[in-house]
Structure 1
């Protein structure tokens, strides 16, 4: 009977999500009702009352607001504004060089933000106007930045990877190392798409390099030294083992504030905006996390997670069959759910299955984040698309932006396939 209640709970959760009820509220309601049906009201309240504290009190989660604060301070002080110009110095000679520069500038911004939405918004304001002036088709220019924004959650410090590491109980540093590989692979695959489109359709992507601001390598280096110094400080300490992920977040936030003060770019207005955005984003993530913790407890008490693991054992799918199902699940969820909700709803069910198959949870975490980020550029919910519409809506309609991102979705599927067939792409930096 308890297993049946677990299935009813999942069905109820899907219905609530389809009705656009917030993810956190949906999971809390389903968990409370489900445990009440199984054990009674007083028992349910007793079990669930301590869950919020137990989740929020996890020391590792303090890295989330710290890395968010680092990114928002860098954004509001303009410390990342030189990344695009620096990337153009390297790539402007290539066909589609301005678009390729925007992709690698997004990769650089990712190293101090951890958020695909922030990455898309920042690069959209800088790169799209210049690309349109340079002869790029507006829909493709907008699609390029929307796709490039997804790199923001792949290259550390990825907030998605931190939350995954907490729930899966794996090393966040190891997941970060795997994220570097898939982030760079994604950037390279997007650049190849741009080169191919430039070759086949020069009316969409001009072959001749154009640059509205021709700067020297020396000037570009001067513009990006704050970001380079901050990145070396945070990730040099993290990957050398000098800092933990949590300590690296605190060092990064303090470093960003210090650099902003030294350069006299961090005033009261910028600091207030960075703090408010950090508080707002952190609160939203923690509420979803609390709901997911309650939902995990509900599934465990119902026995559904064990039942599904047993069913998979009885089915005995091959590795490729299992991965195909997982990929399809996340591509489907990405159509209508934001990444954190999709990840935390599914992990309680899927993690035991992957442990049964002896699949590296570090590798799966990196692949999972990639699949979730594909959802950021797929209709109808693709959040990055709406962000680009908000910052550059005068250049292209929502439908045109979705069309402009289509070719990058093909590259994403290729990257996912490569990671599945060749796990070493992700794992070689981790030493796993």
Structure 2
């Protein structure tokens, strides 16, 4: 049996195990290890199993992941994000669909302290959806807005997806973060445009808020959002200003989030304990998947499958645009069934050589992949953000209603993905400035 055939069978076996609901990390390690035994023998395969996990996890950049994850969970469990939505609500409520627009701003602000779309959707679901429903907003608009706006979490730094991509692709985390800002802002603006369009065409979806708000109340609300804003400015300002590395920025952010929560008197022992446990569980699962992906890279390299795919694409003479469209379709399909990091790590060993051969900028591609994966978070039948929001809100938001609401934002995402391909400067403009 040829090495290429072993590699091909390994990919098929991996897909079968994932379809059978095996943990992605375990499936990756198992398939890679058995494939390596078939290609290089049991002794060499065992040696790789001993060396690869340590070599990969000892990468210093990865140490930023637990810090940023912990910072996000502290902000979430200590309820530091409510002030963001309250401030946006008071300033924007009189606009058409103002509360929904405020939700987009709230999600964008929350994304800057969590980097997680699921946490973003859950937090804003508790705060924003009840407020919109209380003001007679259409349930599909209210829930669809928050579920979709939660996806900004993977683009606005600090993004866990972009950190992992940077480690795998060996590119600058800071440049990826800078590129994510442009894509995140573009995403938020496209969602706001969808809200304004829908409400303009059908005003009954979002009745105007008649509550009179004084300027004193508006500026007072800004004080509630100020601690989180200062936290974001300090962490990202230090990172982009060259004062911190990514790891140091994560550590500073984690410490400052606890200090801010303590000054707000929301840092209870329960919140701290829950944040620590959730951080350990999240990072443990993430690192198992990344170790498996590193093993898969070795397996595909030795089997020659990755080179075969690259050569096939080169022979076809596919343009970078067609290549990106093909990659987008694959990620859209995977996003229906897999969580984002798992889908990314399974495919990067194959896709990175392809985009490198096609001359596609790695920073641009990293942000583009993050955007693609987040579209999968609102795509049926899985749509993780949809089900998280539905479970958070309860009976007022069955999954079917949320899916109906996110359809409009899904269309906006498809249009935006096209714009990112045709105008790559949306992503690369800010990194190039620095």
TM-score (norm 2): 0.97
1:209 equivalent to 2:201? Answer no
Aligned to 1:391: 392
Structure 1 contact 134–210 (Cα < 8 Å) conserved: no
- Residues 67-93 of structure 1 show CA distances to partners (whole Å, capped at 9, x for unaligned) of 011111111222211000111233222
Aligned to 1:177: 178
Task: Map 1:123-142; keep pairs closer than 5 Å.
Answer: 123-142=124-143
CA positional deviation for 1:320: 1.6
CA positional deviation for 1:210: 4.8
Structure 1 contact 63–245 (Cα < 8 Å) conserved: yes
Aligned to 2:419: 418
Query: What SS does the corresponding residue of 1:405 show, helix, strand or coil?
Result: helix
CA positional deviation for 1:233: 0.8
Aligned to 1:277: 278
Structure 1 contact 197–205 (Cα < 8 Å) conserved: no
Query: What SS does the corresponding residue of 1:82 show, helix, strand or coil?
Result: helix
Distance 1:18 1:331 in 2: 16
CA positional deviation for 1:264: 2.5
- Residues 48-77 of structure 1 show CA distances to partners (whole Å, capped at 9, x for unaligned) of 221111111110001101001111111122
Aligned to 1:409: 410
Structure 1 contact 194–205 (Cα < 8 Å) conserved: no
The worse-fitting range, judged by mean Cα deviation, of 171-180 and 137-146 is 137-146
Alignment RMSD:
1.4
CA positional deviation for 1:288: 0.6
Query: What SS does the corresponding residue of 2:166 show, helix, strand or coil?
Result: helix
Aligned to 2:63: 62
Distance 2:223 2:181 in 1: 25
CA positional deviation for 1:348: 0.3
Q: Residue 302 and residue 262 in structure 1: after superposition, are their counterparts in 2 closer, same or farther (change >3 A)?
A: same
Distance 2:54 2:171 in 1: 21
Aligned to 2:18: 17
Aligned to 2:103: 102
Structure 1 contact 16–26 (Cα < 8 Å) conserved: yes
- Residues 13-57 of structure 1 show CA distances to partners (whole Å, capped at 9, x for unaligned) of 111111221111111111011111112222211122211111111
Q: More helix by proportion, 1 or 2?
A: 2
- Residues 77-122 of structure 1 show CA distances to partners (whole Å, capped at 9, x for unaligned) of 2221100011123322210000000001100000100000000000
Aligned to 2:336: 335
- How many residues of Structure 1 are paired with residues of Structure 2 in the alignment? 431
Q: Residue 345 and residue 211 in structure 1: after superposition, are their counterparts in 2 closer, same or farther (change >3 A)?
A: farther
Structure 1 contact 134–211 (Cα < 8 Å) conserved: no
Task: Map 1:239-318; keep pairs closer than 5 Å.
Answer: 239-318=240-319
Aligned to 2:345: 344
Structure 2 contact 108–153 (Cα < 8 Å) conserved: yes
Distance 2:336 2:328 in 1: 13
Query: What SS does the corresponding residue of 2:431 show, helix, strand or coil?
Result: coil
Structure 1 contact 230–252 (Cα < 8 Å) conserved: yes
Query: What SS does the corresponding residue of 2:204 show, helix, strand or coil?
Result: coil
Task: Map 1:370-389; keep pairs closer than 5 Å.
Answer: 370-389=371-390
CA positional deviation for 1:393: 2.0
Task: Map 1:228-239; keep pairs closer than 5 Å.
Answer: 228-239=229-240
Structure 1 contact 177–429 (Cα < 8 Å) conserved: yes
TM-score (norm 1): 0.97
Q: Residue 310 and residue 113 in structure 1: after superposition, are their counterparts in 2 closer, same or farther (change >3 A)?
A: same
Q: Residue 26 and residue 61 in structure 1: after superposition, are their counterparts in 2 closer, same or farther (change >3 A)?
A: same
Q: Residue 216 and residue 44 in structure 1: after superposition, are their counterparts in 2 closer, same or farther (change >3 A)?
A: same
The worse-fitting range, judged by mean Cα deviation, of 100-109 and 8-17 is 8-17
Q: Residue 29 and residue 360 in structure 1: after superposition, are their counterparts in 2 closer, same or farther (change >3 A)?
A: same
Structure 1 contact 193–411 (Cα < 8 Å) conserved: yes
Structure 1 contact 125–391 (Cα < 8 Å) conserved: yes
Structure 2 contact 17–27 (Cα < 8 Å) conserved: yes
Aligned to 1:365: 366
Aligned to 2:77: 76
Distance 2:356 2:313 in 1: 12
Query: What SS does the corresponding residue of 1:123 show, helix, strand or coil?
Result: helix
CA positional deviation for 1:158: 0.5
Query: What SS does the corresponding residue of 1:21 show, helix, strand or coil?
Result: coil
- Residues 209-266 of structure 1 show CA distances to partners (whole Å, capped at 9, x for unaligned) of 3559877222112101110111111011111111111110011001111222233321
Distance 1:413 1:298 in 2: 34
Structure 2 contact 235–250 (Cα < 8 Å) conserved: yes
Aligned to 1:31: 32
Distance 1:4 1:90 in 2: 61
Q: Residue 97 and residue 283 in structure 1: after superposition, are their counterparts in 2 closer, same or farther (change >3 A)?
A: same
Aligned to 1:150: 151
